[in-house]
Structure 1
């Protein structure tokens, strides 16, 4: 059995479509644990969930006081009976073959602990261009190696798209509460523990973007929260792969880039220099370190470069320049923004 854990709060408007998409799955052997996280919409969300559970035994409703997404996920997983846990949100849509394809992939690949899929954007791509760009980037990471090397830019796995083996929670721990995005921290921790993550080439989920989505309104999903939580994981990853450890050169010398990169200092990383193209910075010392032009950067045998510029497209341009000089992703350079 596959267990779908679906937290919902004040979701009466979108929950019927989400549950309908699950009811129409081509996989028969699954359950849906709907966790009503203290909805205060006059019982509307509970009524929708209760109606589904009343006519289809695969759907179960848990009603709890409002304690947030992590507590709701913990409650849903504790109540789940399946060998694998699928995530789903109350405002997204599963395509009919999603659970079947993902379950078959885990069954056929015992070394894989988690599988995601391609996702379609359910919002207005023009009005939410940044969200569409993020989805396009997520969909471009189609292998474990790409996910492993891309994780330090941003989260490469849309949370409601994943299916993972329940045993991973027993081995490596589940969701944690804190001032950080709970899914991103979980992916970082599991990847650090050696969990193999894969992504199917099929589009099996429509990821909607309503105005009240937590990633838009909750401070735990603010950009700075991502940089804060990943610093320690990134530092430990660098300790394993950087032949010049603990020394790095950070691409980008702007104020925001410096502030984010300097979080690594608390974890033993030494930033030797900045790399930049701004003529007002090149050749000077910024925050006590020299700002190097491109032609002064040592070769790949003598340094490790961290592109830390978050501007869309800048990281790709930096990596292209580095790779043209013989740098190899994951060996002597790694994008961190």
Structure 2
């Protein structure tokens, strides 16, 4: 069996969901883990809830608290500073894991030493029932990033050596909200190999209000990040600038975008 797994999580105002997220880790069939959680300046009861878990299971939790809201990339890098294990898994504070998630990912990496990262399929939930599935390409390549996203970020398990070699998450403001896209482009450009289990071992809570955060600036960041990532992976020409054409979706009225987003989740089985 490999050494203990570190689960890194950055949270902000998750008092309504953090207990379910943590409980799903406590209920894992694989028990050789430690959870490193960074509170990113929450102004609700999130940190107090996390503190209660740390007091009950002191050997299982490492808590970090930012002095102010510093966003996801910074907070995840803070978590990485405390990692002392070979393996690192990701998770978000409003999602939860199926009981066998860690066990199956650890086993896969043990049995496939040529693979550097493994993600899983995702169930999209409204909090009560399944509303969609997200199943990524089994073995993503550089080409995958031209039309999709290689991995569902919160589902991944990879090696500390990979994060170390890539320098963790970029703090460039231009990758904010697309820090995973930046990471996958750098991961694939460096020659690392990843795999997506086709089983839905992770559940995300769909927040339809998240469409409000898909602003023009966020889409511009996405286009810039993809353009730069495509160049890094060796692509040239028009294909590198295609993401800029998607910016115009930011001008779709929020009400219409919500309807389209719900339709996409309901009818799209592959992503």
- How many residue pairs end up in the alignment? 238
Q: Is the 8 A contact 1:179 1:220 kept in 2?
A: no
Equivalents in 2 of 1:236, 1:230: separation in Å? 10
Q: Is the 8 A contact 2:77 2:169 kept in 1?
A: yes
Q: Counterpart of 1:88?
A: 91
Q: Is the 8 A contact 1:154 1:226 kept in 2?
A: no
Which residue of the other structure, out of 219, 230, 235, is the alignment partner of 1:234? 230
Larger relative contact order (CA 8 Å, sep ≥ 6): 2
SS at match of 1:144: coil
Q: Counterpart of 1:50?
A: 51
Q: Counterpart of 1:328?
A: none
CA-based RMSD of the aligned residues comes to 2.9
Q: Counterpart of 1:33?
A: 36
Which residue of the other structure, out of 134, 153, 157, is the alignment partner of 1:159? 153
Which structure dedicates a bigger proportion of its chain to helix? 2
SS at match of 2:51: helix
Larger Rg: 1
In the TM superposition, 1:1-337 aligns within 5 A as: 1-41=4-44, 44-56=45-57, 57-66=59-68, 67-123=70-126, 132=132, 136=134, 139-145=135-141, 148-177=142-171, 178-180=173-175, 181-211=178-208, 213=210, 217=213, 219=215, 222-239=218-235, 260=245
Change (3 A) 1:220 1:247: closer
1:179-221 Cα distance to aligned partner (Å, 9 max, x none): 22111100111111111010112110001122565x7526598
Change (3 A) 1:216 1:59: farther
TM value normalised by structure 2: 0.78
Change (3 A) 1:35 1:211: farther
Equivalents in 1 of 2:48, 2:11: separation in Å? 12
Equivalents in 2 of 1:80, 1:259: separation in Å? 37
SS at match of 2:174: coil
Equivalents in 2 of 1:104, 1:192: separation in Å? 26
Superposition deviation, residue 222 in structure 1: 2.9
Equivalents in 1 of 2:32, 2:75: separation in Å? 23
Q: Is the 8 A contact 1:11 1:90 kept in 2?
A: yes
Q: Counterpart of 1:326?
A: none
Runs of 4+ aligned structure 1 residues displaced above 6 Å come to none
Change (3 A) 1:196 1:40: same
SS at match of 2:197: strand
Equivalents in 1 of 2:98, 2:191: separation in Å? 30
Equivalents in 2 of 1:119, 1:209: separation in Å? 11
Equivalents in 2 of 1:60, 1:80: separation in Å? 10
Equivalents in 1 of 2:217, 2:166: separation in Å? 23
SS at match of 1:119: strand
Equivalents in 1 of 2:11, 2:104: separation in Å? 25
Superposition deviation, residue 149 in structure 1: 2.2
